[in-house]
Amino acid sequence: MMNFTILKLDQGTAFIMKAVYFDGDINYDDSYPDPKPGESLVRVSLAGICGTDLEILDGYMEYSGILGHEFVGVVERSENPSLVGKRVVGEINVGCETCESCKSGMSRHCPSRTVLGILKRDGAFAEFLSLPEKNLHVIPDSITDKQAVFVEPLAAAFEIRAQVSLQPQWNVAVVGDGRLAQLVLQVLRLWCPNITCFGKHQSKLESLGKEIKTKIGITKNDEQSFDLAVEATGSSSGFTDAIKLTKPRGILVLKSTIASRASPDLTLAVVNEITLVGSRCGLFKPAIDALASRTVRVDSMMDAVFPLREFAKAVNRAKMPDTLKVFLKP
């Protein structure tokens, strides 16, 4: 049972911001993240609850702070006047800008990075958030607020293409039928038409349409028959299922972050010489372009919108088996 407490802020503060704050318990906090030098202040219009948020609530990353990293908002204050008033989404990793990873354009792997709503940086389940200008991307008017919330997870789906040289003749499996899995399916189909989704929820599988083959459960005939498998279940059992599907010397892409401390069995990966690819965040431009051109469609994945004050209800809805994307509106 999640309980909210109201934490009051000094009346002299420039803004009073409502936010969901997590420190092992959920608090409904009144505070204000005054932007750091060089960072822009964004008024959050809409935010999405994703699997990582649910994992954090279960202990992943041992995070304390304001949750949330999928968002769209309007720039309220910035050192770049041309950004003020613009509708934006934001890349979630903020590097130190001085280490070798940052200098090579890989700030998402900066050892000193902060990550919006995940690691040492307050997130999007709030009225305002703060990010550097370079992290912000202006959203075209053709993309609605609800669609824009999908940019961050859709960018993560496109990252597979950046990491793996996809071949049109490949037999591809996606394990999972939730929010991220459905985005991965749409992205991979742009290059690999022969694709099968292995899920657990009939209603979610039916929402994929007839263009994608779907299955509940893995048969003997499915095992070791896929050139590429993508694990996107958000569960500890997903790895076991995905590795069974992958051909010897095939590729297994791992998308889930799991709070469970259970050790996966890697024996089959070694015996079958499977290439394991960890895959996390991606560049935003391909995702924004895909939404603007309707190459990827997300409207069927939208579920309920809750006010920020009803965060506990929103989380309960997001955890329901047939639910896809749940939104929070500050």
* Judgement on whether residues 23 and 50 belong to the same structural domain of the protein: yes
Instruction: Report whether pLDDT(288) > 60.
Output: yes
Mean pLDDT of 313-317: 95
Instruction: Report whether pLDDT(74) > 90.
Output: yes
If DSSP codes are grouped into helix, strand and coil, which group holds residue 255?
coil
Predicted pLDDT of residue 259: 56
Mean pLDDT of 238-244: 92
Residue-averaged pLDDT of the chain: 89
If DSSP codes are grouped into helix, strand and coil, which group holds residue 130?
strand
176: domain CATH number? 3.40.50.720
Count how many domains the chain has.
2
* Judgement on whether residues 116 and 233 belong to the same structural domain of the protein: no
**CB-count exposure of residue 212 (10 Å: 0-12, 13-18, 19+):** middle
* Judgement on whether residues 37 and 139 belong to the same structural domain of the protein: yes
Predicted pLDDT of residue 7: 36
Instruction: Report whether pLDDT(156) > 90.
Output: yes
Q: Which domain holds residue 175?
A: 154-278
Predicted pLDDT of residue 168: 97
* Judgement on whether residues 11 and 141 belong to the same structural domain of the protein: yes
Predicted pLDDT of residue 257: 77
On whether residue 289 sits in a domain, the answer given is no
Range of weakest confidence among 117-121, 202-206, 282-286: 202-206
Predicted pLDDT of residue 235: 78
Instruction: Report whether pLDDT(86) > 90.
Output: yes
What is the amino acid identity at position 22?
A: F
User: In angstroms, rounded to a whole number, what is the distance separating the alpha carbons of residues 190 and 185?
Assistant: 9
* Judgement on whether residues 38 and 128 belong to the same structural domain of the protein: yes
**Which tens digit of pLDDT belongs to each residue from 157-181?**
999 999 999 999 999 999 999 999 9
